[in-house]
Amino acid sequence: MGMPARTERRWTTADVRDLMDESRAWPRYELLNGELLVTPAPGWSHQMAIQELTAILRPYCDREPIGIAVNSPSDLELRPGTITQPDVFVVPNSLLPETDEHVGWDLVKALVLAVEVISPSSVHTDRVEKREFYLGAGVSEYWVMDLEARMVELWTPERDTPLVTRGILRWTPLGARSELLIDLPTFFEDVSARLRRR
């Protein structure tokens, strides 16, 4: 995925929503600290990683009483005046609508998990700005997935440094009865294999 473009003016959520209405899903627009971030559509490996991770998280979340796994595009306003679109995220059950009458991103004010798959050009944004934002907005856990290094950084609000793993990623969110285990070497190989099949 290309580098997020930045602009000099101070943007509002209304400005960004107007851009979203005009362009539909891509490019991806996000708003942090009044700054508009514009990111082009993800590349093949980025998209395959998002799909693979979502395919792992969905059945786990179906078994556990924690929430629902979703991937972007999305339109989350976790804090007033912000719009974010994590690559993959888990919305807690408590925020899911009870009926189909109103199903909108405006209901989502908290996340159990947010995940960004980085590219070389988005390293600073994902590792610093978005990490600070998500953890400051009360997201229980933030993962930074590095496809080139084949590793994942796991951040929580209590940690000053990430837990970096290249082997087994372990996740036990609050309320879960069992631990999710992701074999990262197998995960990254599956992403590569899917690309070779295209």
CATH of the domain at 141: 3.90.1570.10
Residue 126 CB contacts under 8 Å (≥ 6 apart), including other chains: 116, 118, 144
Q: Does residue 57 lie in a domain region?
A: yes
Q: Does residue 28 lie in a domain region?
A: no
Domain holding 179, by residue range, is 43-197
Distance CA 148, CA 94 (A): 36
Structural domain count, the chain: 1
pLDDT single digits (tens) 124-133: 888 999 999 9
pLDDT single digits (tens) 88-118: 999 998 777 666 665 677 778 899 999 999 9
Q: What is the residue type of 75? A: D
Q: Does residue 5 lie in a domain region?
A: no
Q: Does residue 123 lie in a domain region?
A: yes
Per-residue confidence band for 163, with pLDDT thresholds at 50, 70 and 90:
very high
How much is the pLDDT for 91?
Answer: 92
Q: Does residue 50 lie in a domain region?
A: yes
Nearest to 37 by CA among 140, 143, 130, 162: 130
Q: Does residue 19 lie in a domain region?
A: no
Q: Does residue 22 lie in a domain region?
A: no
How much is the pLDDT for 104?
Answer: 72
Bridge partners of 62, per DSSP, are: none
pTM confidence score: 0.84
Counting residues of the chain whose pLDDT is more than 90, the rounded percentage is 56
Q: Does residue 2 lie in a domain region?
A: no
Counting residues of the chain whose pLDDT is more than 70, the rounded percentage is 85
